[in-house]
Structure 1
C-alpha cells in the first residue's frame, strides 16, 4: 500500500436526488480510486483510497464540478488508514450522520427524457412519468431522508427488471434515480368523470379533445391539481372563472414552446432563460397586441403569465392540443391547492368536467412559482415549485434553531439552523381554515424533513394574524416579535448577504406599526437587528378599516378629505354619491372605525378609484396592479410632491391626489394620469431617501414590500437612486411581498439573539 492514502469525505448541501453519487462514482473510477460513496442523514459520504494526487483531485472536483442540480455547501476531509481495497462502489444509505441533507426542489423534464418521450422506438414512448437523475419529482414525493426510493411516494411501485438494471448501472443516467419507472412498473394515467367513472381511449388524446370542445379539466401535476381550459375559448374561460369563483384575477397560460410564447408576448433573453430553465416558473410578460387569447384570461392587464411544460404529461398535452391553455391552481379561490385524489374529486368535482390523473401520490403540495423580470434578473412574486424548499446560505449563523411564522397573506414559514434558512413553499392566505390547516401540516412536515427543532419562534407584531397566534401557542420556544416592515427590509438584506445599516424603503398594503397605526409606506434606517423609522408617506384615515381595502373608493374619499379637495366633478363621487357623506364623516371622526395609515397600497387604491379603474376589488392588490397596467409608459412628467425634512421625513401623498383630481377634471386620459402618478411618487421617494441619506451618511438602499412588484414604480425609484450614486438592493431570490416576510423574521430574530449573547 506504499504511496496510497485514504480519506473520509463528507459532502453537505443539496446533494441527494441530483445525481451526486453517480457523479462521484464516475470520477473515482476515472481516477483509479478504490472506495465507496453513499447517502446519509447529513448528505453524501465518500471514502476514497489511492495515490494522494488522485484523492486530492477527487476532492477538488467534488467541490468545483458537481452536477448542475447540486449545491455543495461544505466538504470535510478526514484522513483514515488505507485498507488496500479495490474497486469503487455505491453502498446503501445510512440513517446516521451529522445534520440533515438539504431537500432538492422538483425539476422540469430534461431534454434526454423528452427525446425518449417522443421516440416511437423507445420503451418509454409517450409515457407521462419518464424521468432520470437530472429531472423529475423531488420535494413533492420525499417522505423522509436519506433520499431513497423507500422514502418516496414511489415506494409502492416495484421496479421491473429493465428499470432495476438501469438503476444499478453506473453508466446509465438513471443510476440511482429514485423515481425511475416505465409503463410496465410505474404509475398509470387515467381520465375519469367527477363521479369516478373511467373514460375509454388514450387519456391524453381524449383530454385534448375535451379541451378543444370547451371543457374544464382537472390535471394532476407535480405538486397538486390544476384546472385547465382552452385559453382562446372565452366561454370555457368564463365558465372556469364562475365555477372557481375567481372574478378578476388573471389566469396563467401554458404554451407549448418559446415560439408559441413569442406569438403571445414580448420576450427577452432573461425571460426566455427563466421559461426554459429547470425551475419553469410562471413568467409575467408584456402581451402582444392581438395575442390569440380570450379577453377573460387576463382582464385589466397588459401582461400574460406564461409557463412552459415541465412534466412529461404537460408536454404530451401540449403536443396534442395545438393552442395555449389556461393552467391555474386546482382550488376554489382562497383555498389551498388540492393534491390528494379523494379531496380533489370532492373539492373540484363541481368545477371540472373531467379529471386527468394518476396513481403516484403527492406528499407535499406545491403551487407554481411566479416571477417578473427586472434589470435582467428574476423578481420573485411567488416562490414555490422549482425553488422551494431550496435553502438560502447566509453568512451569519443562527445561534439557536428558529421557526419564523410569516405573515397572514401570501403565507410562508421559515426554518433556520446553522447558516441555512429553509423557506417553505407559498401556502396562500391564512383567512381560510383549510389554508391554516395546510400551513400547520407543512410546518410539521418540513420540521421532520430538515430535522430542525426550533428553540425560538419569530412572528409578526399583529396580534390578530393567525400566524402570530400559532407562534404564541407553541410550547417550549422563545417568542420574538418582529415588526412587519423591518422583516421586509431584512429579507432583502439577507438574500444579498448585507448586514446594514441601510436605508430601507418598505412599501406594501398593511403592516402593524410600532406606534399602533397601520404602516405601509416606510423609510427605515435598518440593520438586521433593529430599525428607526426615518420617514413615511403621509398618514390618512381608512374609513371602515378593512372594508376600505375591499372598496378602494373609500380611500379616494379619505384622501380627498385629507387634501381638502372637493369631490364634486369627479366620477368616483358620482358613482358613490349615496354613501359618500357617511364615509367622509368616518374619515373626519377617526378612531377605531377609521385608523390612520401610511400605506402605499391604500394610496394606489385611492388613485385607481379616482381614475375609474375600480371602486371595488376581488383580490388583494387588484387596484394597484391595474393602475400600473393602465399607465402610458411614454408619459414622462410626474406630479410634483412636497417632501418635508426632519425626523420623520414625510412624503405628502395628498399632493399626488390633488394633482390626479385636477387632471381628471380637465379630461386628461387615465393612462397619462396613471403614468404621472407613478413618476411623481418615484421622484418623491428618491427625494425622501436623499434627505435621510444627508442625515445618516448611508449610501445603500433596500427596496422591499409588495408594492415594489410594480415594475414602473420599482424602475423609477431604482433608476433615480442609482443616478444619485446610491447602491440599490432589490429582491432576486425571495418575494418582496409577504411571501418573503418569514425569512426576514428569522434573520432579524437571530441578529437579536447574537447581540444579547
Structure 2
C-alpha cells in the first residue's frame, strides 16, 4: 500500500481561543489522529504547526472548527505550508508575546456544570469553595492585566499554586490545564465579611452565612462579585427594598433580581424557551421577563412595571449565597446613582458608605469593572440593552470596512454621554468596551478615562484618528478634542443619529445606502438643534436627512427630560396656542405652580431649545395619557406608555387604527418631509376628553408611529430599512414596525450584537470615521 504523503502546516487561529480549553482540545485531537507539532498562545490568537499524513492533518483542521469547546469562537484560520521536520509528538508551548495584538480573551463566563458538581460534592477538595473555576468557566476579562492571556498577566499572579493545583494546571488531559484563574482553598483567594468600618467580623463559610443572615434580617450587603460590587437585599421584603431605594436615591427604577435557579424564576415569571436559554447561557445576563400576577416579589422591586430583570447564579459565590438564602434577592449594581460600579473593597467602604450594612469581600483583585448585561427577547431573537459581562470583549468583525477595500487605521471612538461605551477599530474589527454608564459625575468620567487607557494598552494600539459626537459639551467630545491635540491625530465628529444607523449597518455588514429610522431622546443635529425623530438616507461616509418630526421646544432644556408634563405643555402649546395648552393642563398641579414661568420661557424662547425628539414626544403623550408626569430615571415615561399599550393589545379589536400624522413636503433645506404630529395630538386630546382609556391611547399612538415609518419608507424607495436608537428598545414598537415593513416588502434590520441605545454609538462612530479616513 502506498504510504500517505506527510505534510506540515503553520496555522494561525484568530478568535476567542484563549482561556477556553482550546489548547488541551487540540492536544487531544492531535493524539487521536496521530498528528505531530505544537500549539502556543500568541498575541493574535493561537499558533499551531501540524505535521502528519495529509488526510489526518486535513481532518484535524476540520475538527478544529467543528468540535472546538462551546465557549471558543474561531473567527479565522490562516494556513501556510511549511517543511516537514520529522516530528512525532504534539506539544503545548509557552505563550508568545510579540507581534500585532488581537484581544482574544473570552468574556467572564458563568460556572460550568462540572465545576458546579464539584462545588456541591462534600468529597471534592473544592467543596463550597467560592472561587473554583476551569477552562470552561469563570472570570477572564475582569482579571486580565496584559496580553497574552497567561496567569502572570492576571490578578491571580499573586496566588502561588499549591502542588495539587500545579499538577492539574500542567496536565494537558485535565480540564484545568492552563486555566489561569485556577485555585483551591489551600492556595487561592479567601472570603471575609467586613463591618462598615472595614473590620473583619468573619471569614470563609462563616462570613457567607453571616452575610445571608443580615440579608434575611432586612439588611443590605455589598457583595464583591466577579466584575464589581453588587448590593443585595431580600426581594420578598418591602421594607428592605424601600430602604435600598432610599439609601441609593433610586425611587422608581426597577431592580434586577437574582433567583436560586431557573425553576425559581418560573415561579415568579413567564419564561419562554429562548429566554431560558439566555438565563442558562455562559454569558448569564439579566433577562427581562414578564412577571406573574403572584410572583412572590414585593411590588417595590419592579415599581409597577410588568417585567422583572431576572438572572440566575453565574459564579460559585452566587450559587453558595442562593443555596443559603433559598429565595430571590435584589442584586443591583454596587454604586451610587450616576457613578461607576465599585470594584475595590477599600473604595467600597467610602463610596458605598451609608448604603451597605456589611461588606462580603475577597482578596482576588478586579482589573476592570464589568457590570451585568441586560437583554430582552423579541420574536425569538436577542435584543441587548446593556452589553457587559458575558458579551465583552468579543469584537464586531467588519468584512468590508472601507470603500477602497483597505483595512481600518487604528481609530478610537469615545461614544456619547449616556450609556457610554468606547471602541477601538483596527484591521477588520471593532472592539467595544463594556458598558461604562453615564458621564455625569467626575467619578464616572475618571472611569471612562481609565477605560480608554486600558483598551489601548491591552491591544497595544495607538489610535491615528479619534471619533466623537457632534455635541460640543459632552464630556466624551471634550476628551476627544484634548486627545486629538495631545497626540496630534485628526478628530472626526460624527452626527449622533448617523452613528446609530452606521452601528446597525456594521453589525449586519451592510454596504451602500439604507433608510435609517433613528429615534431617541435626542442628539445634536448638524443644524444646531436637537434631533431625535429622524429618517436618514445613510451610508457609512455620510447621510442626508429625508424626514423628521415637526420641531417643538423643550421648556427648561434638560428639566423637560425629568418632567414629561413640560413636554406635554409644549406640544399642546404648539397645537392649540397658550390658552389651549393651559386649558388642557388645567387640572395639573404642576402647571398651576409653574405654568406662568413655563409660558414665559416659551414666549421668549429662553432655555427652550428646539427638538425633533421622538423620545420627548413619547414623554408628552405619556403625560397627556395620564401615565407619567415626572420621571426619576431615563425612559420612565416611555416605558409606562409601552406597557400600557401592551396591556391593551391583548384585547385589541381588529379594526383599531393609529392616530393621524400629517406628512408634508418641506420647503426648507433640512429634509424633504416633515411629520406633523399636531393632528395626532388633537385626536388624542379629543379621545381623552371622551373618556378613552390610557391603554387605548398608548396603543393607538404606537400604531401611528408604525404607520409613519411605513409611509416614509414608501417615499424613500430604498429596499433596506434600519431601525435604531433608544426608542427601539421598546419591544412593541420594534415588533409592530418590523411586521409592517416586512408586509410592504422591505428588508428590515435591527440590533443584535450591540444595544440600539447610546451604548452602540461608539461602533457607529468608529465605522464612519474609518470610511472618512479611507477616502482621503
TM-score range, shorter chain: over 0.9
User: Does 2:591 align with 1:576?
Assistant: yes
Aligned counterpart for 1:585 among listed residues 600, 612, 616 = 600
1:747 and 2:767 matched: yes
Distance 1:571 1:92 in 2: 75
Q: TM-score, normalization: structure 2? A: 0.94
1:322 pairs with 2:326: yes
Distance 1:571 1:112, change over 3 A: farther
Q: Secondary structure at the match of 1:543?
A: coil
Q: If the length of structure 1 is used for normalisation, what is the TM-score?
A: 0.97
**Cα distance between partner residues in 2 of 1:482 and 1:641:** 30
Instruction: Evaluate the alpha carbon distance shift between residue 637 and residue 2 of structure 1 in structure 2; reply closer, same or farther with a 3 A threshold.
Output: closer
**Corresponding position of 2:513:** 501
**Cα RMSD for the two superposed structures:** 1.6
2:687 is matched with which residue? 663
CA distance in 1, matches of 2:110, 2:70: 13
Of residues 493, 513, 516, the one that matches 2:528 is: 516
Give me the whole-angstrom Cα distance separating, in 1, the residues matched to 2:460 and 2:292.
48
Q: Secondary structure at the residue paired with 2:491?
A: strand
Q: How does 1:377-416 map to 2 (within 5 A)?
A: 377-397=381-401, 398-416=407-425
Counterpart CA distance in 1 for 2:72 and 2:500 is 29
Counterpart contact for 2:111–2:316, Cα < 8 Å: yes
- Tell me which residue corresponds to 2:367: 363
* Shift of residue 6, structure 1, vs aligned partner: 2.3
Shift of the 569–755 alpha-carbon distance from structure 1 to 2, 3 Å rule, reads closer
User: The residue matched to 1:579 in structure 2 has which SS?
Assistant: helix
Paired residue for 2:228? 224
For residues 54 and 734 of structure 2, what CA distance do their matches in structure 1 show?
54
1:34 aligns with 2:26: no
Alignment partner, residue 215 of structure 1: 219
1:605 aligns with one of 613, 619, 639: 619
Change (3 A) 1:513 1:35: same
Which whole-Å CA distance do the structure 2 matches of 1:572 and 1:348 have between them?
A: 41
Query: Hey, what's the Cα distance between the residues in 2 that align with 1:195 and 1:630?
Result: 46
Match of 1:8 in 2: 10
TM-superposed CA distance for 1:349, in Å, is: 2.7
1:173 shift after superposition: 0.8
C-alpha distance in 1, partners of 2:740/2:385?
23
Q: 1:544 aligns with which of 524, 543, 556?
A: 556
Q: 1:575 to 1:101 in 2, by over 3 A?
A: closer
Matched-pair contact (CA < 8 Å) for 2:585–2:591: no
Aligned to 1:422: 431
The counterpart of 2:463, out of the listed 454, 464, 470, is 454
The alignment status of 1:466 with 2:475, answered yes or no, reads: yes
Q: Report the alpha carbon displacement of residue 343 of structure 1 after superposing the two structures with TM.
A: 0.4
Q: Distance in 1 between matches of 2:186 and 2:159?
A: 10
Shift of 1:79: 2.5
1:622-633 correspondence runs (5 A): 622-631=636-645, 632-633=648-649
Aligned residue among 486, 493, 504 for 1:492? 504
Q: Is the 8 A contact 2:582 2:595 kept in 1?
A: no
Runs of 5+ consecutive residues of structure 1 not aligned to the other structure: none
Distance 1:271 1:409 in 2: 27
Q: Does 1:292 align with 2:296?
A: yes
**Superposed CA offset, 1:30-49 (max 9, x none):** 11122211112222111222
Q: Which moved more, 1:402-411 or 1:663-672?
A: 663-672
Unpaired runs of 5+ residues, structure 2, are: 402-406
- TM-superposed deviation, 1:248: 1.1
Q: What CA distance in whole angstroms lies between the structure 1 residues aligned with 2:177 and 2:369?
A: 27
Q: Which of these residues, 166, 186, 191, is aligned with residue 184 of structure 1?
A: 186
**C-alpha offsets along residues 667-719 of structure 1, whole Å, 9 cap, x if unaligned?**
222222222222222222222222222xxxx1110000001101121122211
Q: Aligned partners of 1:137 and 1:333: how far apart in 2?
A: 26
What is the Cα deviation at residue 284 of structure 1?
0.9
Q: Does 1:108 align with 2:110?
A: yes
SS at the partner of 2:226? coil
Q: Of the candidates 611, 628, 631, which is equivalent to residue 614 of structure 1? A: 628
Q: Relative to 1, partners in 2 of residues 1:584 and 1:715: Cα closer, same or farther, differing over 3 Å? A: farther
Structure-1 separation of matches of 2:586 and 2:623:
9
**Partners in 1 of 2:470 and 2:751 — Cα distance?**
23
Partner of 2:673: 649
Structure 1 pair 144–539 and aligned structure 2 pair: CA distance change class (3 A): same
The C-alpha deviation readout for 1:470-522, integer Å capped at 9, x for no partner, is 11111221111110000000101110111131110000001000111110000
Alignment deviations for residues 285-324 of structure 1 (CA, whole Å, 9 cap, x no partner): 1111121111211113111111111001111111111211
Per-residue CA deviations over 1:185-241 (Å, capped at 9, x if unaligned) read 111111121212222362222222221111111011110000010011000000011
Secondary structure, aligned partner of 1:74 = strand
Which residue is 1:302 aligned to?
306
Cα distance change of structure 1 residues 333 and 572 upon mapping to structure 2, 3 Å threshold: farther
CA distance in 2, matches of 1:302, 1:658: 30
CA distance in 2 between counterparts of 1:639 and 1:77 reads 60
Structure 2: distance between partners of 1:264 and 1:114: 24
CA contact (8 A) 1:645 1:691 kept: no
Note if 1:431 corresponds to 2:455: no
Cα distance change of structure 1 residues 607 and 101 upon mapping to structure 2, 3 Å threshold: closer
**Is 1:706 the equivalent of 2:726?**
yes
Structure 2 Cα separation of the partners of residues 472 and 638 of structure 1: 45
2:356 equivalent in structure 1: 352
Q: Is 738-747 or 91-100 further displaced after alignment?
A: 91-100
Aligned length: 751
8 A Cα contact 1:254 1:325, kept in partner: yes
1:322–1:571 distance in 2 versus 1, CA, 3 Å:
farther
- Aligned match of 1:443 in 437, 448, 452? 452
Q: In the TM superposition, what is the alpha-carbon distance from 1:574 to its structure 2 partner?
A: 4.5
Distance 1:445 1:278 in 2: 25
Segments ≥4 residues shifted beyond 6 Å: none
Residue 398 of structure 2 aligns to a residue whose secondary structure is strand
